[in-house]
Amino acid sequence: MATKPSIPKGTRDFGPVEMLRRKYIFGTIERVFQKYGYLPLETPAMENLDTLTGKYGEEGDRLIFKILKRGAELERAVQDGSKSLAAEALRYDLTVPFARYVVQNQNELAFPFKRYQIQPVWRADRPQKGRYREFYQCDADVIGSTSLLNEVELVCLMQEVFDALALKVKVHVNNRKILLGLVELFNVSDRATEFITIMDKRDKVGVEGVAEELRKNNFSSKVVDDLTAFYGRIIPMEDERGPQNHRMLSTMFEEAGVAVGLQGLKELGDVFYALANGATKAVDNRVFHDLTLARGLDYYTGAIFEVKAAEGTLHSSICGGGRYDDLTGVFGLKGMSGVGISFGADRIYDVLLETNKFPTELGSSTKLLFANFGEKEAMHCLKLLRQVREAGIASELYPDQVKLPKQFTYAEKKGIPYVAIVGETEMNAGLVTLKKMGANEKGDAMTMDELIQRLK
């Protein structure tokens, strides 16, 4: 093979610099997950095909990567008319494998079961900017409890993750029951999903855009007028008078006798009450009631969460989630309510990069390079190297005896901040000359103890 090799479209290699940054993101999230009592789970990349099909809609089914059968099985399948060339497939998300795991292990698990899972998923989507065929998901879910304390905890957890990443964000919270209440209020129950989907776009297209789309889809002018009037009464969520929306909605639902809407408001109110009463210290990462938030509406039945960066120019969703009433029913285990969130690692990466929030010392994991001056010096350096590593400092010895500039280029390319010079002079004097990369100086001769003190 003489042509330069490549990788499948929509996939990526992550080299050292990207990997160290990604590890910082995943490590931070994982630490907070564990601090909140979520425990790790990993499921296989491959699931049985029938575990996955029918769970993501028709479009989803088409995007599942399937594993080709092998050997005699494949031959038989081809002869049978190619109807069943695959019996296994790559996981499409972490939620269905999680549900499958819970059902399979229901007798051993301690409920409520709190798990986190950080693994790649695969989707045969058309690749485009920011959309990949392999990407990590980063989920935490609690299943087997209907308590709203779970929602409170998840909001705190999201705040704490972004606090730890030093990123200012806005946490949007809504409740699907409020959306269903609006549907009832505006008399569009027969077209609920459609109505909510259009309403969800206000963020992007504005009130006039929503009205236009409603008209285009043959909603009556009364519905359009009612919704427009309603929007006119809403106070923007970031306004300090924002909480008045709650009272306004409450009055509307009460007057029209919309029980589901009132229930949604109560649930949301309970969550905000707990947050306001000391569950969180939320200073930078404020929580808002976003009346129109509807993400994943076919799926969620209660709380809905979404987090957006409040810094930089990238304002797409970097974390989201919600409550679902029946995750495991499709696998035969009824009555399991759960609530969960999912962090979008790729988007968080982009936001941290743009806002310059990655810690600088992530650039390299090696702190010190011993230059190689020849066989005798290298043998001597191996002992010094051992001392430095015993002090917990990541370090290495340049393995080949080449000209010094080449060794310095290596340190520079790899982002190693310090080079130790141990020539014959230093060796005989029991010293090391320490040079800081980028500093225009000869470097200081020092003992190993001093060097270790300096680098620690």
Residue 413 burial (CB < 10 Å; 0-12/13-18/19+)?
Answer: exposed
Find the binding residues for a second copy in span 357-386 (CB under 8 A): 364-366, 369, 372, 378-379, 382-383, 385-386
Structure tokens at 424: 């014959």
Q: How far is the CB of 305 from a second copy (least distance, A)?
A: 17
CA distance 422 to 49: 60
- Is the Cβ of residue 300 or residue 331 nearer to a second copy in the bound state? 331
Q: Does 278 bind a second copy (CB under 8 A)?
A: yes
Find the binding residues for a second copy in span 24-63 (CB under 8 A): 34-37, 39-48, 50-51, 62
- The binder of a second copy chosen from 296, 410, 427, 445 (CB under 8 A): 410
Q: Does 449 bind a second copy (CB under 8 A)?
A: no
Q: Does 5 bind a second copy (CB under 8 A)?
A: yes
Pairing of the two strands 39-40 and 113-122: parallel
- Is the Cβ of residue 152 or residue 294 nearer to a second copy in the bound state? 152
Q: How far is the CB of 241 from a second copy (least distance, A)?
A: 26
- The binder of a second copy chosen from 58, 70, 126, 356 (CB under 8 A): 70
CA distance 281 to 40: 27
- Is the Cβ of residue 183 or residue 271 nearer to a second copy in the bound state? 271
CB atoms near residue 183 (< 10 Å): 22
Site stretch for a second copy (CB under 8 A), options 141-149, 216-224, 292-300, 423-431 = 141-149
Find the binding residues for a second copy in span 281-300 (CB under 8 A): 281
Residue 258 burial (CB < 10 Å; 0-12/13-18/19+)?
Answer: buried
Q: Are 122 and 90 in contact (CB under 8 A)?
A: yes
Q: Are 369 and 416 in contact (CB under 8 A)?
A: yes
- Is the Cβ of residue 120 or residue 312 nearer to a second copy in the bound state? 120
Q: What b-and-e string marks burial along 243-253, b requiring 16 or more CB atoms within 10 Å of the CB?
A: bebbeebeebb
Site stretch for a second copy (CB under 8 A), options 9-17, 166-174, 182-190, 438-446 = 9-17
Handedness of CA 328, 331, 335, 336 (dihedral sign): negative
Q: How far is the CB of 192 from a second copy (least distance, A)?
A: 27
Close Cβ partners of 104 (under 8 Å, ≥ 6 residues apart): none
- The binder of a second copy chosen from 29, 115, 261, 358 (CB under 8 A): 115
